[in-house]
Structure 1
Amino acid sequence: MPKADSPPAYEDALHHPKLGNNPPNPHPHPPPPAYSSSPAMYEGQAGYWAQDGFYSHGPARAAPGRSPSGMPTVIPTLSGGLPPSHAGEMDDLLSSPWDSTSVRHGFIRKVYLILAAQLAVTFSVVGVFTFVEPVKLFVIRYPGIYWASFAVYFLVYCILICCKKARRRVPWNFLLLGIFTLVLSYMSGTIASYYETKAVFIAIGITAVVCIAVTIFCFQTKVDFTSCGGVFCLLGVVLLVIGIVTAIVLSFKYVPWLHMVYAAIGAVIFTLFLAYNTQLIIGNRELAISPEEYVYGALSLYVDVVEIFLFILQVSGGACE
């Protein structure tokens, strides 16, 4: 081999101008990479090892499920970078308006079917207490039955509020709904037994007209009652205070016609409550009930309708005396 072609000595190579003043490499021969069971370490990796890492001569062939850099492959989707915990939001974004509208229409049908069944039971019980003379006379003769109906109603109402876990299950939902319907029907029947048949008919007719008119109005109007939650809460407090004052005043018989004024105010306030709850069910306003809460939606409308009937019955009963 000619001397000119022989490599320089180690000391000369250290001081070569191209190398500058770099310190000597303490590991002229770096150790091979450690053994790994991952197929990505051996499949399609072409290059050489140096002191500060692995250098590839070209694009490496990626293993299945991995990118050439060894990182897991990320497939772009329409989620916009949402984490897996927001999968429900992604479903809402991808759902079409027609799907949401059909779901809301199905929810409204369920609510009004349940409401129709409840009102049928209630007015059937009211008819028994009104038209069956022995039952009517029995309630009038024993007023304890009348007062017991109020106690049972408030007891069942408190149980219904406290049983949050039971309300999350569909069988318990319908069981509590059926019990509450029977209890409120019993209370309405005992109240109706103290009024004339003509007054009961007038109250039923006015209640039907008011409820139908309010429902049609809520479906057509652009007025948003759901944005006035604070006002409705205040109206409820006002009605409670007026009721307490009326009960105290009537016990001393100072103003005999005061109960008719209170009944008229109560009918107006619960008519507004009916409009508020109807728009919550329709769902095209600021607030709306979830389509899964059809039992709660039917219950809220049912209470409003029965309360309107009872208040109008007081007014019509006082007028017929």
Structure 2
Amino acid sequence: MGDQQGGNGNISTVYDPNYFANTVHPTAQTPSVMDSPPPPEYSSYPDDIGFSDSNIRRGFIKKVYFTLMLQLLVTVGIICAFLYWSALRDWTFETYWFSYVMMAVVLVLAVALSCCDNLRRQVPLNFIALGLFTVAEGLMLGSVAVYFDAEAVLWAMLATSLVSLALSLFAFQSKWDFTMLNGSLWVLMWTLFSFCLLCAVLRSQYVYIVYACLGTLVFSLYLVFDTQLIVGGKHRKYAVSPEEYVFAALNLYLDITSLFLLLLQLIGLCR
């Protein structure tokens, strides 16, 4: 550090001028950890990567609802053919097994579209499969609708349209996150299935009415749930990938057609 020199009773301290060189000029220090560039910032919302661009989300929503609109138009046309084409109506009464065959076809196509990623993502195979499913669902609904009065079917269509529109607007505007209720909705679905078995055993009109009301509630919640999965946003915990527009349209279509069947049953039992 320095030398002490004595003379004439005086004590002086001599410092090395280079000792504090590094402290006087800190810019001359060698690069340290503090001088390294900061680490990259990571987003705390990894689930919103697919919807980070609002244009992508709007395009996805438009594609889903345009596909859904075409599905519903085809379905309504097929149902009206069963209602007002007397030859087709009479043929359906004679071939009661046709409804069960269509149910099996609908189930197979629904499972295929839900489980096979390549089937619902590869164009044009996904649109072909979705078109076949829509036609099969329309034929099944038409074959069921012939057992009800045409007026009851039209009232059920109107009620389904109003309920679906109201629930969709609620799902778009509401900040309540229904996407977190996936487990609860699954439990409600199995409860509804158990109640359906009870209806088959009891065969009571009042039990059927309760079943139709309960089913309407469950599928109304599912419609809100699926709509919020499509909309996404910061208020939603989960969101559907923008690549899954066929799967999203399929879910909404199934919710709406299930609502139609339950409302038709409810109207038919109450008339």
Match of 2:211 among 258, 262, 265: 262
Cα 1:174–1:77 shift into 2, 3 Å? farther
Partner-residue secondary structure (3-state), 1:115: helix
Q: What is the Cα deviation at residue 188 of structure 1?
A: 0.5
Q: What is the Cα deviation at residue 147 of structure 1?
A: 2.3
Does 2:227 match 1:278? yes
Q: What is the Cα deviation at residue 79 of structure 1?
A: 8.2
Match of 2:267 in 1: 316
Match of 2:40 among 66, 80, 88: 80
Partner-residue secondary structure (3-state), 2:265: helix
Does 2:101 match 1:143? no
Cα 1:303–1:104 shift into 2, 3 Å? same
Q: What is the Cα deviation at residue 272 of structure 1?
A: 0.5
Return the alpha-carbon distance in structure 2 between the equivalents of residues 134 and 306 of structure 1: 25
Match of 2:69 in 1: 116
Q: What is the Cα deviation at residue 81 of structure 1?
A: 9.1
Does 2:59 match 1:106? yes
Match of 1:291 in 2: 242
Q: What is the Cα deviation at residue 243 of structure 1?
A: 1.0
Q: What is the Cα deviation at residue 77 of structure 1?
A: 9.7
Return the alpha-carbon distance in structure 1 between the equivalents of residues 231 and 114 of structure 2: 24
Match of 2:78 in 1: 125
Match of 2:3 in 1: none
The worse-fitting range, judged by mean Cα deviation, of 124-133 and 271-280 is 124-133
Return the alpha-carbon distance in structure 1 between the equivalents of residues 262 and 254 of structure 2: 12
Write the letter of the residue equivalent to 2:238: L
Match of 2:168 in 1: 215
Return the alpha-carbon distance in structure 1 between the equivalents of residues 113 and 243 of structure 2: 18
Write the letter of the residue equivalent to 1:303: L
Return the alpha-carbon distance in structure 1 between the equivalents of residues 139 and 146 of structure 2: 11
Q: What is the Cα deviation at residue 78 of structure 1?
A: 9.8
Q: What is the Cα deviation at residue 313 of structure 1?
A: 0.4
Match of 2:183 in 1: 230
Partner-residue secondary structure (3-state), 1:189: helix
Cα 1:256–1:289 shift into 2, 3 Å? same
Structure 1: give runs of 5+ residues left out of the alignment.
1-75, 83-88
Match of 2:142 in 1: 189
Return the alpha-carbon distance in structure 2 between the equivalents of residues 155 and 193 of structure 1: 24
Q: What is the Cα deviation at residue 238 of structure 1?
A: 0.6
Match of 2:256 in 1: 305
Cα 1:292–1:142 shift into 2, 3 Å? same
Return the structure number with greater relative CO, CA threshold 8 A, min gap 6.
2
Q: Please give the per-residue CA displacement for 1:258-292, whole angstroms capped at 9, x wherever unaligned.
A: 22221121111101000000000000211101111
Match of 1:180 among 130, 133, 138: 133
Cα 1:296–1:155 shift into 2, 3 Å? closer
Return the alpha-carbon distance in structure 1 between the equivalents of residues 41 and 225 of structure 2: 38
Which has the larger Rg? 1
Partner-residue secondary structure (3-state), 1:223: coil
Q: What is the Cα deviation at residue 101 of structure 1?
A: 0.9
Cα 1:199–1:78 shift into 2, 3 Å? farther
Return the alpha-carbon distance in structure 1 between the equivalents of residues 62 and 39 of structure 2: 33
Query: Any conservation in 1 of the 2:156–2:267 contact (CA below 8 Å)?
Result: yes
Return the alpha-carbon distance in structure 1 between the equivalents of residues 86 and 267 of structure 2: 20
* Percentage identity across paired residues of the two chains: 34
Q: What is the Cα deviation at residue 193 of structure 1?
A: 0.8
Structure 2: give runs of 5+ residues left out of the alignment.
1-35
Match of 2:113 among 160, 163, 170: 160
